[in-house]
Amino acid sequence: MLRKSILVLIILVGLATIATLFINPLRYSRQDIKTCFDDAGGLQAGASIRIAGVDVGSVRSVRADPQNKNCPAEIEMAVSTTYEIRIPKDSITRIETEGILSGVYLSIDTTHASGAPIENYGYLKGESRKPTLSLEEQLKAADFLIGLIQQTREAGTRAPEDGGPLPHQPVR
């Protein structure tokens, strides 16, 4: 008899817990949104999505569709927060770099947006980032500048062969 009472009590507690979750579920906001870019810039599934520097979700997929001239790179993202978030449908998405050697993330800029909230599976406008030099190109440019600095220093320490003024001295 005691075993049956305990079993009934355990089942009742379990059912009460499940009923509570259905009646008052854990509140969170989840929204699937899409955007398009001419160039995905190395963005990969799993990359962060940020609004005002705050992580609000992740990239679900990045697909190339070269046949679609309006959307050659389609990005699906899942915005998921523990609070309700309403993203204006006139917000702009950008692919940003975390640092020189770090990965990329997707930024949603809402600073100038004032439209109604975007619907689930709606499209946000994607704004291509300004072209940047690759790491290899940046290193070549730095090497070139270092070479110029060294040449300038060497030229300043020895007299010109034509007897003229040194490069850093004014001409009189």
Give residue-wise pLDDT tens across range 26-36: 557 889 999 99
Q: Tell me which of 59 and 102 has the higher pLDDT.
A: 59
Instruction: Give the whole-angstrom CA distance, residue 150 versus residue 148.
Output: 5
Instruction: Give the whole-angstrom CA distance, residue 29 versus residue 18.
Output: 21
Count Cβ atoms below 10 Å from residue 61 Cβ, excluding itself. Answer: 13
Q: Note the residue count of the chain.
A: 172
Give residue-wise pLDDT tens across range 67-79: 988 899 999 999 9
The verdict on residue 21 lying in a domain is: no
* 53 CB burial (10 A radius; 0-12, 13-18, 19+): exposed
Query: How is residue 90 annotated by DSSP?
Result: T
Domain count, the chain: 1
Produce one character per residue of 7-34: b if its CB has 16 or more CB atoms within 10 Å, e if not: eeeeeeeeeeeeeeeeeeeeeeeebebb
The verdict on residue 111 lying in a domain is: yes
- Dmax (CA) for the chain in angstroms is 115
Count Cβ atoms below 10 Å from residue 90 Cβ, excluding itself. Answer: 14
The verdict on residue 36 lying in a domain is: yes
The verdict on residue 76 lying in a domain is: yes
The pLDDT, as a whole number, for residue 133 is 66
Q: Which domain holds residue 42?
A: 29-126
Lowest mean pLDDT among 47-51, 99-103, 113-117, 125-129: 99-103
* 169 CB burial (10 A radius; 0-12, 13-18, 19+): exposed
Position 106 pLDDT exceeds 90: yes
The verdict on residue 117 lying in a domain is: yes
The verdict on residue 79 lying in a domain is: yes
pTM (whole model) above 0.85 = no
The verdict on residue 11 lying in a domain is: no
Instruction: Give the whole-angstrom CA distance, residue 127 versus residue 94.
Output: 5
Mean pLDDT of 140-154: 86
Q: Tell me which of 146 and 24 has the higher pLDDT.
A: 146
